[in-house]
Amino acid sequence: MRKHVLAANKLHADDTPVPVLAPGMGKTKTARLWTYVRDDRPAGEQTPPAVWFAYSEDRKGEHPKQHLSNFSGVLQADGYASFHHLYEGGRIIEAACWAHVRRKFYDIQVANGSAIAAEAIERIGLLYVIEREIRGNSVDIRLEIRQARARPLIDDLHRWFNKTLAGLSRKSDTAVAIRYPLSRWRALTGYLDDGSIEMDNSAAERALRTVALGRKNYLFTGSNTGGEHAAAIYTVLGTAKLNGLDPELYLRHVLERIADHPINRIHQLLPWSMAATHSSKRLG
């Protein structure tokens, strides 16, 4: 599954904290689970989607650097600083996330009813309307429609951001929210020129929801080895879900067969192979 994910030309990436028991200390420390998602279905591709999770003891930038050492293409992620060094040299191209931009204005609007934040949300929302309409279309169609309809809106939004920012206190929350997209404008607007790129990083965020749910049930991981095992299980179950399989039934199906299954035909047990020949109701 990891090899399949890293063979993509475009990935979604994110990370989330996981508590892990610190040996001999009687308390937990904070480790990380990193997720890398391959899913080109929104651009009309038929390549099976998959997710790969990786565990690390901390959040140092050396981890995504090692994870993606053999990857070349577009990486869609948030503005986390440890991703920035990945884009040096041009082997990996940065694509930023409009959902992060919108969320900053949403928080301001909820907190104080800001008219500026409300307008920013509305303007960004118009871009999402276009994306919903073209979801599942080919790369070429998406590119054509984005150039015709989204680009004028983006250009106008850029002018509005700069004009509005000039009238705000530099330290205000709204000014900070506006400077965030302006500082990442190239990475945010790259999707206009490439129909394969998404407008946001929701694919990675969806993959991490399962981890958040798990934390409510098991509270912490018992060791670093346990964290690595958890990453493997999240990879298997997350990929099964992406391919339309019931994760529990899929895992049961695999465990009942894997002991006697030839290693040179292990690909037959991968989720997308199962999805092609079974429905989730008949697995097992």
- What are the tens digits of pLDDT across the range 140-188? 999 999 999 999 999 999 999 999 999 999 999 999 999 999 999 999 9
Average pLDDT value for residue range 135-139: 97
CB atoms within 10 A of CB 104: 18
| Strands 73-76 and 92-95, bridge-based pairing | parallel
Closest CA to 195 of 135, 247, 260: 135
Pairing, β 27-38 against β 92-95: unpaired
Alpha carbon 56 to its chain's center? 18
Lowest mean pLDDT among 32-36, 58-62, 95-99: 58-62
Q: Which two tokens stand for residue 198?
A: 């998404």
The pLDDT of residue 280 is above 70: no
Which region, left, alpha or beta, applies to residue 89 given φ > 0 means left and ψ of -120 to 50 means alpha? left
Tokens for 270?
């991968």
Residue 221: how many other CB atoms lie within 10 Å: 23
What share of the chain in percent tops pLDDT 70? 96
φ, ψ of residue 89 to 5 degrees: the values are 95, -15
Burial of residue 52, with CB atoms counted within 10 A of its CB: 0-12 exposed, 13-18 middle, 19 or more buried: buried
Contacts (Cβ under 8 Å, ≥6 apart) of 69: none
The 3-state secondary structure of 179-246 reads: HHHHHCHHHHHHHHHCCCCCCCCHHHHHHHHHHHHHHHHHCCECCHHHHHHHHHHHHHHHHHHHCCCC
Residue 259 DSSP code: G
SS3 content of the chain, % helix, strand, coil (to 5): 60, 15, 25
Q: Would strands 10-22 and 73-76 be described as parallel, antiparallel, or unpaired?
A: parallel
Which of the four pLDDT bands, split at 50, 70 and 90, describes residue 279?
low
Domains and CATH numbers, the chain: 2-94+201-242 (3.30.420), 98-185 (no CATH), 244-284 (no CATH)
| Residue 27, pLDDT score | 85
Give residue 157's pLDDT.
98
Reported as a single tens digit per residue, the pLDDT across 210-254 is 887 776 677 678 788 999 999 999 999 999 999 999 999 999 999
Per-residue model confidence (pLDDT) at position 284: 46
Mean pLDDT in residue range 28-51: 95
Identify the helix (H) or strand (E) that includes residue 102: helix 98-112
Residues 6+ apart with CB under 8 A from 284: 249, 252, 253, 256
Strand residue runs (E) in the chain: 10-22, 27-38, 50-56, 73-76, 92-95
In sequence order, what are the residues at sequence separation of 6 or more whose Cβ sits closer than 8 angstroms to the Cβ of residue 185? 158
Average pLDDT of the chain is: 92
